[in-house]
Amino acid sequence: MANAAPTAGTPTGMHRTRDVFDASVHRVMAWVTPVALGLVYGYWTAEIRRSGGPITGWNVLFGFVTALAFMVLYVAVRTVTRRLPRELHAGLWTAFIGCAFGFSYSQTDASVGRAVLMSLAVSAGAFLLLFYRYYTREDAEGHRVR
């Protein structure tokens, strides 16, 4: 069987699909990601706080404020960590993850001690994972390998 040889240009009626690795897609995702993660985190934490009870206006407000705080902190951490060496890079993300987990875990009516211990356990695992990730993606001078 013979196949048609490709020709220059696109056939009539067909459009080029957008390259998912294009710079414009990355610019859009730089804003979509914190908003989506913030909304999921905020309203999940509000759900934990209400413990299956009725949805109230205060609960929705709590979820919105929590989502907004998460978004702002996420963007701040992402902006600051670009300039840090791998140890501090992993450490700052670890602190963010530990605080976010600890705050949501504290909404379960657990004791403060248990919330801190669980947060430290999650933070330790996050640090090991993130440090390994950043360590294996940098050269000896600390420059990120693309």
Give the start-to-end residue ranges of the domains of the chain. Answer: 25-83, 85-146
Mean pLDDT (the chain, rounded): 86
Question: What band does 69 get if pLDDT is binned at 50, 70 and 90?
Answer: very high
Rounded to two decimals, the pTM is 0.78
User: Which of 74, 13, 11, 6 shows the shortest CA–CA distance to 39?
Assistant: 74
Per-residue model confidence (pLDDT) at position 18: 66
Cα–Cα distance between 83 and 89 in angstroms, integer? 8
Determine the straight-line distance between the first and last CA of the chain, rounded to whole angstroms.
42
